[in-house]
Structure 1
Amino acid sequence: MPSTNSLAPNPDDESPHPPGVEPFWNESWYFDGVSADPEVGVYVRLGNVPNQGSCLYTVAVVRPGQPVVMVTDYAGPSPVLEDRRQIVHGADYEAVQECVTRLADYRIQFSGAAQQYNDAIDVLRAEPGTHASLTLDLHWITDGEPYAWQALTRYEIPCHVQGTVVIDGETIAVYGPGQRDHSWGTRDWWANDWMWSAFHLTDGTRIHAVALPDVPDFAIGYIQTGGEITELTQGSATHQKSKDGLVSSAVLRLGDPADPLVVHVTPRGFGPLRLEAPDGRVTHFQRAMADFRTADGRSGVGWIEWNINQH
């Protein structure tokens, strides 16, 4: 039976796109997930920057109370395209992402070297980690309605994530909610701050929201319940930092400012990036597995990020 989702992306957009002419033109694929037993969060990003002949490849595995395991290849080789597979042959790793079934199933594989950090703030301070070996074999299976942004070339898909993560020989089963997105266009990390989030509540509600501190009462995203999508066009986000500079809590107010859905956010583990522009500007990209709790008593898990430029 055909989908009645009028906001669904074009399946052809799962494939890579011809690049624009802008130096910061970027094509980005994000994958994240949270598993409860044991508690672990993972995210993977391939950000191809073809006009610079490189990519930014990132993996983060977070477990509360344990070191964060990260791959941060800020100038990796451009991905090699083989049918529906993209392969990044890094100096000490190989990463493969494959669109198994368009808009339905995506597979991520990784094998190679990573770095462990006892404190995630060390990543933002450009301090070295210690070596770890890392293997991923994970599927992102669509579990909700794919959603195409109306203003930009981007779409978001709520997913169920399943597979395995292996850290220094220890195998961890991953089974839980997640999200993936795909965008293409200019990505200037140093132009403005933002908050992005995607989370799953225990009653089955899926929420995705993006807010910009410089644009009050404006948000992009959705609330999905029972297969029905409500687009978000209004909202705001505030956050507090701890003494070390990492975000310690946040509050999202989504929808009509007169009667918003209020969501309290508590980060559980970070996989951050320190991004330096060619002209020396720096932004702290803080991405965290988090707990989400609504003011009406519902709870859930997911990932949230803050792009915070350092002035």
Structure 2
Amino acid sequence: MVLDHHVPFRSNPMEVRTTGLWADHICETPLDHWTLGLETFALGVDDPRELHGRQHGDNVALGFDLEWETDGPVVEHPLDAGVHGYELACRVYGEVLVGRDVIDVEGVGSRSHHWGPLDWVVDDGWHLSGVVEGPTRWSVDHRDGTTTALLEADGTVRRVDARGEVEVDEDGLPVAARVDADGTELRVEVLAVTPVPVEVAGRQIRRPRALCRLRSSGGWTGVGWLELRAGAGGSLGAG
């Protein structure tokens, strides 16, 4: 984990630079191509729950040089009044450095952009984005008790009603999820999760993120990311 709530603002808002931390976000081509770079030291832990506790672990060199290239149409997100945003499916490639290891990366991903008065303290629900084998990409959002799925195939985006539920453990971390949309059931298996403690207006909130494997009732498999915007135990959502 890399965490610093007191990084000074710079004239270039896309660059982060402070003692022991450098990160940059470069828009090569609007809505098409971004480059992200990072050089820092991170906290390495055996159990992600440690990040909600004492935050004791090993000091590990961490860096990456990754390219995000758009691989699909713009998908508009259903958000609160006055808040706008979109999501793009992408191909991601480059290198990740962890300690002395250099890991080549080539796979699928997504990029989102939001603007407006989004209040992370009261923001609730969850968001799932992923790619299933074949032509279909999923973007599922649960907010204010309602689940909406955006399905993209062959360059066309369809908005459909959905039902979804995320199962979390006693620490509020996701362990599984299920989505029913457009006659298809999508089962979500959590492979790895990181709790992300974020300080907002003097309060610490949690926005856990999980790397997932997706399995559809049609036999397709895929990968995706699940982000929780609420930290209650039990299960989240069903509308």
Could you state the TM-score of these two structures normalised by the residue count of structure 2? 0.87
Residue type of the partner of 1:237?
G
- The residue aligned with 2:145 is 215
- The residue aligned with 1:155 is 86
- The residue aligned with 2:134 is 203
1:240 aligned onto 2:167: yes
Alpha-carbon distance in 2 for matches of 1:273, 1:242:
16
Alpha-carbon distance in 2 for matches of 1:279, 1:109:
29
The alpha-carbon distance between structure 1 residues 94 and 295, as it changes in their structure 2 partners (threshold 3 A), is: same
Contact 2:172–2:231 (CA under 8 A) maintained in structure 1: no
Shift of 1:276: 4.4
Alignment of 1:92-103 (within 5 A): 92-103=20-31
Aligned to 1:71, the other structure's residue is in SS state: coil
1:187-213 residue CA offsets vs partner (Å, 9 max, x unmatched) = 32221421111101111321111112x
The alpha-carbon distance between structure 1 residues 130 and 80, as it changes in their structure 2 partners (threshold 3 A), is: farther
- The residue aligned with 2:226 is 304
Alignment of 1:121-160 (within 5 A): 121-149=49-77, 152-160=83-91
Alpha-carbon distance in 2 for matches of 1:294, 1:86:
37
117, 128, 134: which is aligned to 2:45?
117
Shift of 1:277: 4.5
Could you state the TM-score of these two structures normalised by the residue count of structure 1? 0.68
Name stretches of at least 5 consecutive residues in structure 2 with no aligned partner.
Answer: 234-239
- The residue aligned with 2:197 is 274
Alpha-carbon distance in 2 for matches of 1:174, 1:279:
36
The alpha-carbon distance between structure 1 residues 130 and 297, as it changes in their structure 2 partners (threshold 3 A), is: same
Contact 2:173–2:231 (CA under 8 A) maintained in structure 1: no
Name stretches of at least 5 consecutive residues in structure 1 with no aligned partner.
Answer: 1-69
Q: How many residues align?
A: 230
1:251 aligned onto 2:173: no
1:231 aligned onto 2:159: yes
Alpha-carbon distance in 2 for matches of 1:154, 1:126:
35
The alpha-carbon distance between structure 1 residues 106 and 179, as it changes in their structure 2 partners (threshold 3 A), is: same
Alpha-carbon distance in 2 for matches of 1:176, 1:271:
20
